[in-house]
Structure 1
Amino acid sequence: MTPVTLALIPFRADPQPSRKAGLLRRAKRWGMMGLGLAVIALGVLIAPLPGPGGIPVIALGLVLVLRNSWWAKRQFIRAQHARPKWVYPFRRLMRKKPEIAPVFWQQALRAEKVVLRRRPSRQLIRFRKRARRTFRKVFRQA
């Protein structure tokens, strides 16, 4: 008996649509990366203004770049291993359904902890509770 070899060759009726789809996908990815870099540049320009306006804009730009760049994803994974506490908020923002409000609340509490090394005063605790209640009401209605 002689051995029989079956070679399965993938069959495509028209190779052109897959090339077009690949080009469109690649163009979309490059466009989103360009938009992300533009948003990062805008955030850097806004950063010197009073308030934390530049930080959320830069974070949004980083999320756009991370979703569309393999190189940026590799760097992100390296940063995640080096500094997991710093990277965790970005991971939460990159999910399909991002948790924007809880991430910003958590970052506000971390910033408060850094600024106030000692135990917070009662007025600050009351203000925080009122702000959280208001924040929840606003986002539940929306």
Structure 2
Amino acid sequence: MPSVRALRASDDFARELVARMVRVGLASLGLLIVLAGIAVAPLPGPGGLPVIVVGLMLVLRNSFKARRTFVRFQHAHPKMIFPIRRLLRREPEILLVAWQQALRIERLIVPRKLRFAVRTRKRFRRARVS
């Protein structure tokens, strides 16, 4: 008959093995969700970004290597990763992130005289101050 110590050790090993399997499963599921978000991204609307963020949340919470890589990438490219980090918070600022990204895209694509979002923001700011 096995001793109590041996039973506890095998119990701990089984728990650790199950925890690792769950972590690997959730990280894999997150990766599949990210890939699905990338596939949906070209369609009209913001459908791809929220799906990618949910998948990224699963991957980053369950994979130490992915978390380390994400932190390195964040240090290398802080302006690119900042909106994603804001969406990964417990209470994400979805509208503010979407607005900032719209302003960035507008600045990249639209000539200065035709920028609608910047004029709208300035108009609302003046109305609020007055």
Instruction: Give the TM-score of the pair, scaled to structure 2.
Output: 0.69
Which residue is 1:23 aligned to? 17
Aligned with residue 88 of structure 1, among 79, 82, 88? 82
Residues 112, 68 of structure 1: alpha-carbon distance in 2 compared, 3 angstrom cutoff = same
What is the CA–CA distance in structure 2 between the aligned matches of 1:86 and 1:123, rounded to whole Å? 21
Kindly report structure 1 stretches of 4+ aligned residues shifted beyond 6 Å: none
Corresponding position: 1:53 with 2:53 = no
Which residue is 1:104 aligned to? 98
Is the 8 Å Cα contact of residues 53 and 88 (structure 2) preserved in structure 1? no
Q: Which runs of 5+ in 2 are unaligned?
A: 125-130
Of structures 1 and 2, the one with the larger relative CO (CA 8 A, separation 6+) is 2
Pairwise CA distance, 1:124: 5.3
What is the CA–CA distance in structure 1 between the aligned matches of 2:87 and 2:10, rounded to whole Å? 37
What is the CA–CA distance in structure 2 between the aligned matches of 1:116 and 1:18, rounded to whole Å? 60
Which residue is 1:132 aligned to? none
**How many residues get paired?**
117
Aligned-residue identity in percent: 44
Pairwise CA distance, 1:100: 4.0
Pairwise CA distance, 1:37: 1.3
What is the CA–CA distance in structure 2 between the aligned matches of 1:123 and 1:93, rounded to whole Å? 23
Residues 18, 100 of structure 1: alpha-carbon distance in 2 compared, 3 angstrom cutoff = farther
Indicate the SS of the match to 2:18.
helix
What is the CA–CA distance in structure 1 between the aligned matches of 2:117 and 2:104, rounded to whole Å? 18
Instruction: Give the TM-score of the pair, scaled to structure 1.
Output: 0.64
Indicate the SS of the match to 1:49.
coil
Instruction: Tell me which structure has the larger Cα radius of gyration.
Output: 1
What is the CA–CA distance in structure 1 between the aligned matches of 2:73 and 2:62, rounded to whole Å? 17
Amino acid in structure 2 at the alignment position of 1:109? L
Hey, which of these two has a bigger chunk of helix by percent? 2
What is the CA–CA distance in structure 1 between the aligned matches of 2:97 and 2:6, rounded to whole Å? 47
What is the CA–CA distance in structure 2 between the aligned matches of 1:64 and 1:117, rounded to whole Å? 39
Indicate the SS of the match to 1:50.
coil
Aligned with residue 72 of structure 2, among 68, 78, 90? 78
What is the CA–CA distance in structure 2 between the aligned matches of 1:122 and 1:65, rounded to whole Å? 34
Q: Which runs of 5+ in 1 are unaligned?
A: 1-10, 130-142
Amino acid in structure 2 at the alignment position of 1:98? E
Pairwise CA distance, 1:84: 0.3
